[in-house]
Each structure stands twice: as C-alpha cells, then as structure tokens.
Amino acid sequence: LLSALSAGAARAQGPGPAAGRQGGAAPGRGAEAPQTPQQLAPIDLTGYWVAVISEDWRWRMITPAKGDYASIPMTAEGMKLADTWDPAKDEAAGEQCRSYGAPGLMRGPIRLHITWLDATTLKVETDYGMQTRLFRFNNVAALTGAPTWQGRSLAKWEMPRGRGGADAPQVGSLTVVTDRLRPGYLRKNGVPYSANTQLTEFWDVAADEGDRWIVVTSIVYDPKYLLVPFTTALHFKKEADGAKWDPTPCSSRW
C-alpha cells in the first residue's frame, strides 16, 4: 500500500523547502504546530456530488445480462467464475453487497456526501448501497481485522511545485490507495475481483461554466482476475445541498 502510494506521487511533487531558510523557529516566535491534512487541502472535496454517467450506460445504470463482460480485461479464471453468477445465491448468503465494494461502487448511479470525519480523515458516504469509505492521511499499517467491502484507504495530497503565494488559486489532487478488500464484483453481473485487489484513485476538481466537478481516475489491479489494470474515469457534479440524497440498501438485482 505505502509503496503504491509513493509511486502515485510521481504525478506531482510537493513543494520543497524555501531557498535559504534555516531550521528552527524565527526569533521571538514559538515553534508552530504542523498543519493537519484538512488544513493543507489544496482542493475542497466536501459537499454533495452526483455521478454523471455519460459512458458505459448499459453496464452502470442497469444490471447487465449474465455473460456481458465487454470492456473488462478478464482472465480465463475470472470469466469462468463470472459465468457462475447467481443473484439469488448471493441474497441467500447475505452477500448482496458484493458489487458495492470500493472497486465497483464508484461506477454505480450514486451520490456522494463528503465530509471531514476528523482533521486527518475524509469520509465519503454513498446513498447507493449506503456505504462509507474512510480516506486516512495517517499511517494505516496499524489497521487490522478482516478485509471489508471498502478496505483500508491511505490518502495523500499531491501539490505541484510553484503554487504561488497565498492568494494564488488552489491546485492539486488527492491520491488514494485502497487494499485489504473483501472479494466482490467489478460489475453487477458477477465480474469478480479477488482479495489481492488494489485500487488506486486520483481525485481532481475542475470547474466548467459555473459548475464544480470531481474527476476520479480509477485503476483496479488484480493479478488473479484481470489481465491488465482496469482503468476508468468517473465524473461527479457538485449539488447545492442534500435534497436529492436517497439512501438505498445493497441489492443483487438492481
């Protein structure tokens, strides 16, 4: 997890120390407390956001037919397992959330509610499946326990050099690496991902004609069921409030 996050940092390097600056506090001033990830945020992800699904509609807005695996680079083993998909069996086993794990969740017809749980943890809730993801900026190595649908996620701000002064526009992005995932589905019709899956995401914010957008580049690595990483781009539009927030439980069929 940590090495993967370090690799993601190659997209943008954080600003180095100011030229000529000496260590220690300035004369007459006490040492300042380090800023928290919440204070350091180069972009604001908080609020309500709705997925705008303008591509792959037939796989994301409805449950595809069994055997409709187009566009996913599956291994033969993955196809064989997907061909056994039976939503009734998932329901009987209490596994109706298999397509709501982090690698598949974000491609659904969802709304996000993003807040700060505390100064070092972003909280991402979804109305679709009523899931909660926690993006922790501190070391997650100490997190133990059984794998879960949302796994453990280590987050890091990426801030390019030369951001300018205090009045310069905020630029930057968020890298999130998630592992310790419970096996689930990449697509509602049983396309599997394994317990060895790692999800890497790059979260960016953009503006267009007065609208605010989050663009999430998602890369799913699974050596067991994917021939190559499965890469997609997801788009979320900012909403004024939570008036359209509609929590619905997991379902194997829709």
Q: What pTM did the predictor assign? A: 0.84
At 51, phi and psi to the nearest 5?
Answer: -70, 130
**C-alpha–C-alpha distance, residues 133 and 151, integer Å:** 8
Residue pair 114/47 in contact by the 8 Å Cβ criterion: yes
Structure tokens belonging to residue 137:
């900026």
Give, in order, the Cα–Cα distances in Å from 167 to each of 18, 38, 42, 170, 174: 18, 18, 12, 9, 21
Q: Per residue in 114-154, pLDDT tens?
A: 999 999 999 999 999 999 999 999 978 778 889 999 999 99
* Confidence check: pLDDT of 8 > 70: no
What's the first-to-final CA gap in the chain, in angstroms?
Answer: 32
Task: Indicate if the pLDDT at residue 168 is higher than 60.
Answer: no
The pLDDT tens digits for 191-241 are: 999 999 999 999 999 998 889 999 999 999 999 999 999 999 999 999 999
H helix count then E strand count, the chain: 6, 11
Q: What is the C-alpha separation between 204 and 71, in angstroms, rounded? A: 24
The per-residue pLDDT for range 9-39, each reduced to its tens digit, is 344 333 333 333 334 444 455 667 889 999 9
